[in-house]
Amino acid sequence: MAKVAHDRGHDVVLWGTWLDDPMLDPVERGEEHPRLRLRLPGLRLARAGDLARALEGAELVVCGVNSDGIVEVLRRAAPSLPDVPIVSVTKGLLEGSAKRAERIDLVVGETLGRDPRFVHAAGPAKAMEVARGVLTWMCFAGRDAESAKAALGGGHLLVSTTDDIAGAELCSALKNAYATGLGMWDGFVGAEAHNARAACFAQAIAEMRALVVAAGGRADTVHGPAGVGDLHVTAAAGRNRAFGERIGRGEPAVEVARDMGAKGQLTEGYAAIASAHRFARERGVADLPLLGAIHAVVWAGADVGATLRDLRFG
Q: What is the pLDDT of residue 5?
A: 96
Residues marked as catalytic: 175
Taking the C-alpha atoms of residue 37 and residue 44, their distance in angstroms, rounded to an integer, is 18
The answer to whether residue 314 sits within a structural domain is: no
Distance CA 121, CA 138 (A): 7
pLDDT score at 138 = 98
Same domain, 31 and 126: yes
pLDDT at 194: 95
Q: Do residues 64 and 79 share a domain?
A: yes
Is residue 24 assigned to a domain? yes
Looking at the fold, whether 145 and 48 belong to one and the same domain comes out as yes
Domain match, 44 and 107 both = yes
pTM for the model stands at: 0.94
Bridge partners of residue 63, in order along the sequence: 88
pLDDT of residue 265: 83
90 and 203 co-located in one domain:
no
187 with 44, same domain: the answer is: no
Q: What is the block-wise mean pLDDT of the chain (314 residues), using blocks of 10 residues?
A: 95 93 90 88 91 96 93 94 96 94 95 92 95 97 98 98 98 96 95 94 98 97 98 92 95 94 85 96 97 98 96 93
Assess whether 25 and 158 both reside in one domain: yes
Give how far Cα 79 sits from Cα of 45, 55, 74, 108, 110, Å: 20, 10, 9, 14, 15
Number of other CB atoms surrounding residue 133 within 10 Å: 14
- Which DSSP letter does residue 38 get? S
Cα–Cα distance for residue pair 52/80, rounded to 1 Å:
5
Confidence (pLDDT) at 219:
97
Final residue in a domain of this structure, among 133, 163, 193: 163
CATH number at residue 62: 3.40.50.720
Q: Do 72 and 154 reside in the same domain of the chain?
A: yes
State the total domains in the chain.
Answer: 2
How far apart (Å, rounded) are the C-alpha atoms in residues 86 and 105? Answer: 10
CA–CA dist 119, 180 (Å, integer): 26
> Which among 163, 194, 212 is the end of a domain?
163
Instruction: State which residues form the domain around 91.
Output: 2-163
Q: Are residues 258 and 283 in the same domain?
A: yes
Quote the pLDDT of residue 40: 86
Question: 105: closest CA among 86, 123, 124, 80?
Answer: 86
Find the CATH number of the domain harbouring 283. 1.10.1040.10
Question: Which pLDDT does position 78 carry in this prediction?
Answer: 95
Dist. CA 154–CA 214, nearest whole Å: 33
Q: Are residues 134 and 211 in the same domain?
A: no
